[in-house]
Chain A
């Protein structure tokens, strides 16, 4: 079947999609968007997290056909083509929150959503928000640092603009 939807603000179309295929497979294999990673295929690891109509979801657990006419934003859509990396991405780089990098795309989308909803999360809020994202290098402390850093920068830049 054919699936038409919006990916990172751009209308896209995938052909010959198998009916039982996941959104993750369609993004990676048919649309050239390999940022979202495929690991557990059962919603355990969070590496495939994308926004679907503004809510973060595991793209391995969404059937490709379900996103017809809907809006998907992947890790590739976080950075501004003009302005460079998103605050969360820059903070992950600066805090050294990346080891092998496989879990990073999912963590970026999930952290991005957390800071959109709650720009000043407590450590507990961060742990809860990231509880569905596994890092097998166990770089969690640096990941916590990165989210705290992104939060601090977000808050100071919004104070400046006020």
Chain B
């Protein structure tokens, strides 16, 4: 096995071009488990720890995305996302705070979740919910490719990166409304999600974003649920009035979220339990975010 230790991003891209089968390692919280248990023996490890850009984030305006955007370096650890970006990226920050333990959150990052593309990665539901214009910045010696989050996940632990590409950053629009994240596990720490759900209200364009984790071969959004609830909010003028959504619509939203999943039975839970739990989490998080939204309307009035 080779250990490649580029000092700069350009060196990293060159190394990945030369060794396309090299496995990038940053926090190591997934990669090292595979190595320790000898489940995977890559030809080379590509250590990204020395590349300081990857652990920085910036805010600004970027082409193809509306409003203020956070360009989050791929290796910014979850502990820092929660500490530094809880206002701008509330959903991701809540999700990040459920990853592993404090030690894991000091190392693990969104780039690692995306690179591994496990359906159970905690960041995915939050990224999907944050909007269809969340973009993964994939880079190679050939140039930069911006992959919309909806096109990023292609199969179980498979993403749409080319073999010579590395994840440089993720561009995530700053939240324009309340966001929530909910996750089922046997305890509050150190759990791989049995299933998870992320939601984001987008009052600016009248949409609602969702993300389902651990209940399908890939992370996915609940498209029909999103369209249904956005229609309800628009048709009944609720974005303006801040009125109650009502139990029937909340119930329907939960059902549609559950229907969007295609879970399996496994050691962590049954398919039926996952569907049930998704409906519950969808109803709860919709209520939480909607209450927060109506409170913000009232306090603005």
Contacts and interface: CB of A to CB of B under 8 A. Distances in A.
Interface of A: 1, 18-20, 22, 41-44, 46, 49, 55-58, 60-63, 65-66, 68, 110, 128-129, 131-133
Nearest to B35: A20
Name the residue in B3, B5, B33, B45 with the highest tally of chain A Cβ atoms < 10 Å from its Cβ.
Answer: B3
Interface residues of B, number: 30
Interface string B1-38: 11101000000000000000000010111011101110
B106 A41 contact: no
A63 B28 contact: yes
A63 B25 contact: yes
10 contacts: A20-B35, A41-B37, A56-B106, A58-B103, A60-B36, A61-B27, A65-B47, A128-B102, A131-B190, A132-B100
Contacts of B49: 66
Contact of B102 (A61, A68, A129): A129
Contacts of B87: none
Interface of B: 1-3, 5, 25, 27-29, 31-33, 35-37, 41, 44-45, 47, 49, 79, 100-104, 106-107, 188-190
A109 to B, nearest CB: 9
B103 A56 contact: yes
Given A20-B1, A61-B27, A63-B25, A43 B45 contact: no
Nearest to B2: A19
A101 B68 CA distance: 51
Nearest to A70: B49
A58 B35 CA distance: 15
B47 A132 contact: no
Contact of B33 (A18, A43, A57, A129): A43
Given A46-B101, A68-B5, A131-B190, 7 more contacts: A20-B41, A22-B36, A43-B29, A43-B100, A49-B103, A61-B27, A63-B32
Contacts of B190: 44, 131-132
Contacts of A57: 103, 106-107
A19 B36 contact: no
B3 A60 contact: no
